Structure 1
């Protein structure tokens, strides 16, 4: 396992097969006073129980490969299905005209502090208002549980630049930052080399 000293007041060089992102943690400590979005008749929220690994990875890629989502892709099928069937994890997908348009995962492993584990839309749904509707469903479900004290999530500079603004507009407040260094998923073969052009690919 390699390591390097991080310069907190300057630059720290990384190997070409690594990427670094700044992670921002956000939290919501009470339910919003009003619903985040109006009801919609054109979309339904469906619980995805025991997702098939191949179908899940297909949707996960469609949503996240441009933003270098890779954590679930690194798991083999058996490992992924074990993760997705873990007690406390609930997986949902918004469905429009029979098509899955996004992914919502809430982890209740700590019932007082549920985590928004994954949240995203397929590219064609971005900008349609579906994201705010989906977040409204998440917030409603989380705060309907009397044990909830805090709803939290994290996002990073590898993700959409709109993400933090969206989460803050929904009532989340930033409370911590971290730096995450990881293998570039394009260098390991998890993603194609043309994905995530906002994070230039350097490995040869």
Structure 2
């Protein structure tokens, strides 16, 4: 059995494209996870993406996660609310001044609380100044990301409100997979 998934690719081509978001009304801090940790990265990935079909990294080994996190220009920025991880954003330099926001999202319990716009704006600003933290990288000329019809209902609106513009749309049939959630049964409210 398959499902139809629409994927939209969006971009900013100047740091002036970035539009700020309102600060969340609670104690939210955004911190870079500077020590590569496959365990923590996999936790964030499954906690954020478990209910929205993030499965592409589930088969990776510890060594593959570690290698991926240690590449120059890869950064993980984590939003914490009162000390609890609420969501994250992962950046990856792709050469020639291009930076992708590879993953972005919130743990379900933290969605709808104005944390996402704040995290996206902060993380996008970090994409624009990525070369300042990574000697040898070219200055950022373009920041891009993709979202799909399986992502949260407010994802596209958040991206456009932060100044991202659409540059590509694709529709594909994908196999339907059982969603793992961060633990067995979590994706079905169990």
Q: Please classify the TM superposition score into its range, dividing by the shorter chain length.
A: 0.7 to 0.9
Q: Given the two structures, how large is their TM-score scaled by the length of structure 1?
A: 0.75
Per-residue deviation, residues 128-187 of structure 1 (Å, max 9, x unmatched): 11111111212222233582221110111121132112111111111111234544442x
In the alignment, which of 49, 52, 68 is matched to residue 64 of structure 1? Answer: 49
Q: Does 1:172 align with 2:164?
A: yes
Larger helix fraction of residues: 2
Post-superposition, which runs of at least 4 consecutive aligned residues in structure 1 deviate over 4 A? 38-41, 180-183, 189-194
Aligned to 2:109: 124
Please tell me whether the aligned partners of residues 114 and 150 of structure 1 are also in contact (alpha carbons under 8 angstroms).
yes
Q: 1:131/1:70 Cα in 2 relative to 1: closer, same or farther (>3 Å)?
A: same
Tell me the equivalent position of 1:21. Answer: 5
Distance 1:84 1:173, change over 3 A: same
Match of 2:16 among 15, 18, 32: 32
Change in Cα spacing, 1:34 to 1:86, as seen in structure 2 (3 Å) is closer
- State the alpha-carbon separation in 2 of the partners of residues 184 and 70 from structure 1: 11
Aligned residues between the structures: 179
CA spacing shift, 1:70–1:33, aligned 2, 3 Å: closer
Richer in strand (by share): 2
Provide the rounded CA distance (Å) in 2 between the counterparts of 1:60 and 1:95. 15
CA contact (8 A) 2:91 2:103 kept: yes
Per-residue deviation, 1:89: 0.8
The higher radius of gyration belongs to 1
Matches within 5 A, 1:3-152: 16=1, 18-32=2-16, 36-38=20-22, 42-144=27-129, 147-152=139-144
Check 1:190–1:42 CA distance in 2 against 1; reply closer, same or farther (3 A cut): closer
Q: Which runs of 5+ in 1 are unaligned?
A: 1-15, 198-204
Uncovered stretches (5+) of structure 2, i.e. residues with no partner: 132-137
Q: Please give the secondary structure, in 1, of the residue aligned with 2:151.
A: coil
